[in-house]
Amino acid sequence: MTINGTYFTGSSSSTTNVAVKIGALQMKAVEGFTDGAIKNARGFLFGNISFNGALNKPSVDGSLSFNNAGFNLTALNNVRGLKGNLPTGIIDKSPRKGNGI
């Protein structure tokens, strides 16, 4: 995984321009970021994500692909599998008023 970009701080606002390239991230590594929502993850995650604009209202764009991925949804105790290569788009997921990341 590579992360490149800039982060500027100012007296009135902070901005960012960051690109994240995910070459092959094991889904097992993603478990730790889900606060226990998934377990027994397998497979890989690939993709590109960019974060641009003000930190309090960034624009998030990119795409992710799952390759032979699967995991157990802890709340449902239900195993979900994603066979093959499944692309997923992320297009302008900017938080709106009252919605944070």
pLDDT per position as a tens digit, 10-63: 767 788 899 999 999 999 998 988 999 999 999 998 999 999 988 888 888 888
Q: Is 97 among the domain residues?
A: no
Our count of domains for the chain comes to 1
Using the predicted structure, report yes or no on whether residue 70 has a pLDDT greater than 70: yes
Q: Is 73 among the domain residues?
A: yes
Using the predicted structure, report yes or no on whether residue 96 has a pLDDT greater than 80: no
Q: Is 83 among the domain residues?
A: yes
Residues spanned by the domain of 21:
2-90
93 pLDDT tier (thresholds 50, 70, 90): low
Q: Is 98 among the domain residues?
A: no
8 pLDDT tier (thresholds 50, 70, 90): confident
Q: Is 25 among the domain residues?
A: yes
Using the predicted structure, report yes or no on whether residue 91 has a pLDDT greater than 90: no
Angle, alpha carbons 58-43-39 (nearest 5°) = 80
The residue ranges of DSSP E strands in the chain, in sequence order, are 2-8, 15-26, 38-54, 59-73, 78-90
